[in-house]
Structure 1
Amino acid sequence: MSMAKTMTEFDAKAADSGSKATERFKESGKRSGIAVPKERVSLLAREVLEAVYGTIRRHKVTYEEYNSLKDWLISVGDDGEWPLFLDVWVEHVVEEVATEDRQGSKGTIEGPYYVPNSPEQKTPARLPRRDDEPGIELTWRGQIRGLDGNGIAGGKVEVWHADGAGFYSQYAPGVPEWNLRGTVVADGDGNFEIQTMRPAPYQIPTDGACGKLIAAAGWHAWRPAHIHVKVSGPGMQQLTAQLYFPGDPHNEDDIASAVKPELILDPRPAADGKGEEMVYDFVLDPEA
């Protein structure tokens, strides 16, 4: 009599995480659309197509290459990897344009693995984790401030990140639902403390359509270790960012091109000898 195998995060498949990312996007409300003038749609569509035409003409693209592209585009949809493809290779430029007028803290891409409504705790907070969670203990202290330097009462930090093996809860089997995800409410002066674990670098899924592109182009699939955040406060623009660790070899060649110097952390050995601790603050811009 055979016994069913217990699935673990190491059994994660690109098609599974891709379909979940696609499902999340459909549920997010982001696809409700806006009333874009026809002239704007025409302008953007034509310029994108002209760029494609220029590439074909400049590099004498063959029918074999064209059909390979067509087959690959179909497989991206079949694998549910459009959110992954767009968030890895396109979003960083959209974010750059969308936040170019901000004076406060720098942000970067959201990525495909955000899940809203994570469990909320008041500071000091401890993100949900397994009893045997692998990795290094990390205590993070900071403050949410406005451009005037005053702390923001009611400020919140949503946090999510990969575990010590590079996997995200809700996108890999065998990982508890809210593992290393949470929303932390700062105190009346905007101060917060978050206890978590240091995440690991990881490769984006390579057994699906995006992996085929990476292999065919001879690229690497690595993202440096990072902590995702969404920081908010009453009357303030929400900041979406990723925070990175010094010395990671992929800070310089992140496949998602999302690393900025302002987002590099400075963890130090903890005073009590247990893991690491760091300080990183946020400055939010007021709502327009």
Structure 2
Amino acid sequence: MDDQEPRDGHPTRKTVLRAALAAGLAAPAVLVGVPALARTGAVPGGAAPELTPTCDDGDDPTPPQMEGPYFKPNSPRRTSLVDAGTPGVRLTVTGWVFGRGCRPVPGVLLDFWQADVNGAYDNAGYRFRGHQFTDAQGAFRLTTIVPGLYPGRTRHIHVKAQAPGRPVLTTQLYFPGEPRNATDPLFDPRLLMTVRDAGSGAKEAAFDFVLDVPQTPGPTTPPPDGTWSPGTAYRPGDRVTYGGRGYVCLQAHTAQAGWEPPGAPALWRAG
């Protein structure tokens, strides 16, 4: 399931955040009070995965997993683990890192490592190993390949995540629809990425981390005069006013603080 189209028809927090950043809005103004789903996808057999970890003021962070035998410190700092001649299906992984208060965390160290297309780890050098830091908006982007199958395991990508001055989270990310998900004893559906075809044989994946970083939700202020109201279920084509300006609803959703029309261009068009 694409994370842009959740089952209930409501846009995800990632939809709103991506649209806001694309529009040049400051992320914190959009993020206040909006729940963040760390991943969507389906477990084997088509059942919906457990809807955790979510960023909802006190919910559990992204679950940890074992490091495995092939971690190496001192990986190079880079956002791409491939070059023009690297074999394998190109994969771009994007997402955000949030704290316990549903707010993005900049400067988080993310150290990725994985197997190559043949399922082998480079233990002599640093192929398919690299670290990066989340940007000022708490976002990250990794360019790599879909890893090959390692004996006894399903496809996965290892990662260590550490916010400044906080403990390290060691975990693994998984791919939906993999036959070995059902037999891998380490597989956890809460760590499924959302994966889709990106054209030309490439794939795109998304995953949001929630780290054990204490936060308080951002400040809230009463909305300006207008007909827009939190808690109201809006449908495409509905019209509201907010702060003296009219807006047209673009996607069905239930309004809540943080999705005010001026700061949610994925949901509202001025007019």
TM-score range, shorter chain: 0.5 to 0.7
Amino acid at match of 1:237: P
1:241 aligns with 2:194: no
User: Matches of residues 38-187 of structure 1 in structure 2 within 5 Å?
Assistant: 103-121=60-78, 125-127=79-81, 129=82, 131-170=84-123, 177-187=125-135
1:226 aligns with 2:156: yes
TM-score by length of 1: 0.51
**Deviations, residues 23-53 of structure 1 (Å, cap 9, x unaligned):** xxxxxxxxxxxxxxxxxxxxxxxxxxxxxxx
Amino acid at match of 1:280: F
**Deviations, residues 59-78 of structure 1 (Å, cap 9, x unaligned):** xxxxxxxxxxxxxxxxxxxx
Aligned-residue sequence identity (percent) comes to 37
8 Å CA contact retained: 2:157, 2:173: yes
Change beyond 3 A, Cα 1:158–1:188: same
Q: Which runs of 5+ in 1 are unaligned?
A: 1-100, 172-176, 204-221
More helix by share: 1
Amino acid at match of 2:145: M
Deviation at 1:274, TM superposition (A): 5.3
1:190 aligns with 2:131: no
Deviation at 1:102, TM superposition (A): 8.2
More strand by share: 2
Which protein is bigger by CA-based radius of gyration? 1
Change beyond 3 A, Cα 1:130–1:141: closer
Cross-structure match for 1:8:
none
RMSD: 1.9
8 Å CA contact retained: 1:238, 1:284: no
8 Å CA contact retained: 1:130, 1:179: no
1:200 aligns with 2:130: no
**Deviations, residues 62-120 of structure 1 (Å, cap 9, x unaligned):** xxxxxxxxxxxxxxxxxxxxxxxxxxxxxxxxxxxxxxx98211121110000011001
Inter-partner Cα distance in structure 1 for 2:80 and 2:109 = 14
Deviation at 1:183, TM superposition (A): 0.3
8 Å CA contact retained: 2:59, 2:100: no
Cross-structure match for 2:38:
none
SS in 2 for 1:267: strand
